Amino acid sequence: MSHDHQHQHGGHDHGDESALADLLDLDAQALPEYLPEVTALIRDHLDDRPVRRILDMGTGTGTGALALTRRFPDAEVTAVDISEHMLTRLRDKASARGVADRIRTLRADLDAGWPELEPVDLAWAANSLHHTADPDRVLTDLFATIRPGGLLALAELNSMPRFLSTAGELGDLEDRAHEALAAETADHVPHLGSDWTTLLTKAGFEIETERRILISLTPPLPEAAARLAHSTLQRMRTGLADRLSAPDATALDTLLTAGPEGLASRPDLTVRDERPIWIARRP
């Protein structure tokens, strides 16, 4: 069970893929400043080098690919994902935004082998590499695909955002839910939270920047952020059903109702998250 771009998720059914796709798009709507900040950081490290070809490795619904087309208007993007459902959603959004001619989608399973790709000036991998079976091999293949002097922008995560008050019973509830989530991901997503600095260096990259982008939205939340809180906690409640105690499951169920004790009635919801970013260069 994961919040992020679960691109190596071959075992999920279509309903789960659709729900995950909705959550990925909602994340971008609720946090509209995040991707522009990241793409500006990438641009600042390009040293005026032209960007003509971009690889989005594990694109999901393509929020990153679309942000990159806005930041680099002369570039074409190859967006790779294992899920045809995700790629279809990206193609629909690209058509709606008038950039379908600049985005090529490619269905590929990175664990089955590296796809045939043209050399790129910039590669972007957002919350996808920890789902691969062998990140060392994938990073080595990425290194070979990037032109000398080109960049890899790697975005990873450590956990889901937090939304509830840090004090009192709700804070304790969210802490326990995140502890259960950490146990779940340790069992099923062992590369989450890997030492990406070491792995990037081992693959041959020179790290230029490592930054942790802090996200902090305070009440009253925009409508999209409030929906993100509900959708994320709902996904946690469903995915952690076997790990939550009965009282904690009941407490989450209460928060997820439309009643007076539900999230929609709480004036103190926040969004708190920390998202690490690495900008690395192929020498």
pLDDT band at 15 (very low <50, low <70, confident <90, very high): low
pLDDT of residue 128: 94
Q: What is the pTM of this model?
A: 0.91
Q: Do residues 24 and 92 make contact, with C-beta atoms less than 8 angstroms apart?
A: no
In angstroms, rounded to a whole number, what is the distance separating the alpha carbons of residues 185 and 178? 10
pLDDT of residue 111: 94
Placement of tokens 């967006």 in the chain: 79
Q: Per-residue pLDDT for 97 more than 90?
A: yes
In angstroms, rounded to a whole number, what is the distance separating the alpha carbons of residues 253 and 66? 35
In angstroms, rounded to a whole number, what is the distance separating the alpha carbons of residues 247 and 268? 22
Q: Per-residue pLDDT for 1 more than 80?
A: no
166-184: per-residue pLDDT in tens? 888 999 999 999 999 999 9
How many angstroms separate the Cα of 116 from the Cα of each of 42, 78, 80, 141, 181?
25, 11, 11, 11, 36
Q: Per-residue pLDDT for 11 more than 60?
A: no
Q: Which of 13-22, 43-52, 170-179 has the lowest mean pLDDT?
A: 13-22
pLDDT of residue 219: 95
In angstroms, rounded to a whole number, what is the distance separating the alpha carbons of residues 145 and 138? 11
Q: Per-residue pLDDT for 95 more than 70?
A: yes
What does pLDDT average to over the chain?
A: 92
Q: Per-residue pLDDT for 220 more than 90?
A: yes
CB burial of 238-259 (b: ≥16 within 10 Å; e: otherwise) equals ebbeebbeeebeebbeebbeee
- The whole-number average pLDDT for the span 179-202 is 93
Q: Per-residue pLDDT for 230 more than 90?
A: yes
Which has more pLDDT, 21 or 166?
A: 21
Beta strands 206-217 and 271-281 are antiparallel
242-283: per-residue pLDDT in tens? 999 999 999 999 999 998 999 999 999 999 999 999 999 999
In angstroms, rounded to a whole number, what is the distance separating the alpha carbons of residues 201 and 181? 29
Q: Per-residue pLDDT for 8 more than 90?
A: no
DSSP secondary structure code for residue 276 in this structure? E
